[in-house]
């Protein structure tokens, strides 16, 4: 029995090493006036929702809360609402993004640009930047009911 369990764990580990699934989180942080928080990275073009990868031993919600605060100096104070799970085919066949709506938050200080995030700020929905990332633009249109929900990020 122990040999079988050990073999099963070994096969599972080999599968993870050969075919890893990656998991990321993104959040639409909304202000009271209908504005949304976006970030501009230093290493990729366009504006994006704040977020990032889920670390070992971290829940998706914990990752979202950590990433939003690290990237924007905004601390989420309420429970984020899961909007959907998306496949990010641009990063591989097994990369998934959990997308959350965040309505309760507070300032965690002043935003300071760093090596990862060049800018973070709220935009009115009617005054969004032209260079939104494709996934960000799609999610905004879905939330507004302008397009059908896609399973792809």
Domain boundaries, the chain: 21-143
In this structure, is the dihedral angle defined by the CA atoms of residues 17, 24, 128 and 151, taken in order, positive or negative?
A: positive
Q: Phi and psi at residue 76, in whole multiples of 5°?
A: -75, 130
Q: Which two tokens stand for residue 127?
A: 């005054």
Q: Hey, is 29 helix, strand or coil?
A: strand
Reply yes or no on whether the pLDDT at 34 is more than 60: yes
Take residue 98 and report the two structure tokens written for it: 């959990």
**pLDDT the model gives residue 137:** 97
Question: What distance in Å separates the CA atoms of residue 55 and residue 109, rounded to the nearest whole number?
Answer: 24
In this model, does residue 6 exceed pLDDT 60?
A: no
pLDDT > 90: what percent of the chain?
79
Q: What is the mean pLDDT of residues 72-98?
A: 92
Q: Tokens standing for 148?
A: 């059908």
What is the pLDDT at residue 19? Answer: 61
- Widest CA span in the chain: 63
- The helix (H) or strand (E) run that includes residue 8 is helix 2-18
Give the pLDDT score at 1.
Answer: 54
Question: How much is the pLDDT for 47?
Answer: 98
Distance spanning both ends of the chain, measured CA to CA: 43
CB 98 within 8 A of CB 25: yes
Mean pLDDT across the chain: 90
- Token output for 18: 């050969």
d(CA 65, CA 57): 14
pLDDT at 8: 55
What number of other Cβ atoms are within 10 A of residue 12's Cβ?
10
- Kindly tell me if the per-residue pLDDT of 4 is higher than 60: no
**Closest among 119, 136, 141 to 48, alpha carbons compared:** 136
Which pLDDT band, with edges at 50, 70 and 90, does 12 fall under? low
pLDDT tens readout for residues 133-144: 999 999 999 999
CATH T-level topology, domain 21-143: Nucleoside Triphosphate Pyrophosphohydrolase (3.90.79)
């Amino acid at each position: 029995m122990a040999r079988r369990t050990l073999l099963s764990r070994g096969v599972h580990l080999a599968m993870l090493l050969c075919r890893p699934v990656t998991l990321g989180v993104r959040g639409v942080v909304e202000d009271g006036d209908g504005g949304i928080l976006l970030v501009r990275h230093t290493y990729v073009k366009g504006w994006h929702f704040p977020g990032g990868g889920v670390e070992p031993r971290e829940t998706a919600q914990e990752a979202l809360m950590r990433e939003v605060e690290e990237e924007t100096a905004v601390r989420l104070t309420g429970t984020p609402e899961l909007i959907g799970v998306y496949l990010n085919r641009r990063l591989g066949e097994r990369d998934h993004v959990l997308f959350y709506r965040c309505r309760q938050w507070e300032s965690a200080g002043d935003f300071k640009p760093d090596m990862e995030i060049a800018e973070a700020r709220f935009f009115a929905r009617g005054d969004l930047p032209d260079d939104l990332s494709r996934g960000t633009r799609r999610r905004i249109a879905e939330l507004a009911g302008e397009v059908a929900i896609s399973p792809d990020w």
